[in-house]
Amino acid sequence: MNELERSSENGALRRQRKPIDQRALYDRFGAMAYGIILQILPQNQAHEVLLEVFKSVNLLSFSNPAVSPAITIIRMARAKAFEYKEKTGQAQREQIEPISSTGSYSPESIFDLTFRQGYSFEAISEQSGISKPEILRAIRDYFQMFHRS
């Protein structure tokens, strides 16, 4: 399926007024959500979070036309993974560790710190000395690099 077809399908899903079928969402985005969760949590915990994501009642009222279902799933998977991390106390342990041992901050490492490790822009800015606009631009650069590759 090419990007155009996928985007039109996404649009169709987005325009649906009735609740989207949970099974259809799982079939389409289950692997994607699991991949995101695995970037944040180990496998034994990731499975539990995946169940929570798709069990979530928010999925049944998927009527937010502001973003596509894929984006909603991405956000939800990430949020649930960090919620789980916080609940199990892993987040606190990691907060006291230094953000970067090498001192280098490539767009990829900044994306990793924000998206995968869950550091706030303020925390990264404080520890690395990089301003928030620069962090945002680094995230954009990371996706630009991905898009070009």
- In the complex, the residues that contact other proteins under the rule CB under 8 A are 3, 6-7, 10, 22-23, 26, 30-32, 34-36, 38-39, 47, 50-51, 54-55, 57, 66-68, 70-71, 74-75, 78-79, 114-115, 121, 133, 135-141, 143, 146-147
20 or 50: whose CB is closer to other proteins? 50
The distance of Cα 71 from the centroid of its chain, to the nearest Å, equals 8
- Give me the least distance between CB of 117 and other proteins, in Å please: 12
Q: Per residue in 80-108, is it b (16+ CB within 10 Å) or e — as a string?
A: bbbebbeeeebeeeeeeeebeeeeebebe
- Give me the least distance between CB of 98 and other proteins, in Å please: 21
Classified as helix, coil or strand, 89 is: coil
71 or 92: whose CB is closer to other proteins? 71
- Give me the least distance between CB of 46 and other proteins, in Å please: 9
57 or 101: whose CB is closer to other proteins? 57
- Give me the least distance between CB of 148 and other proteins, in Å please: 10
47 or 91: whose CB is closer to other proteins? 47
43 or 101: whose CB is closer to other proteins? 43
Residues in the chain: 149
What is the full DSSP assignment across 11-71? HHHHH--SPPPHHHHHHHHHHHHHHHHHHHS-HHHHHHHHHHHHH-GGGTT---TTS-HHH
Whole-number Å distance between alpha carbons of 25 and 142: 27
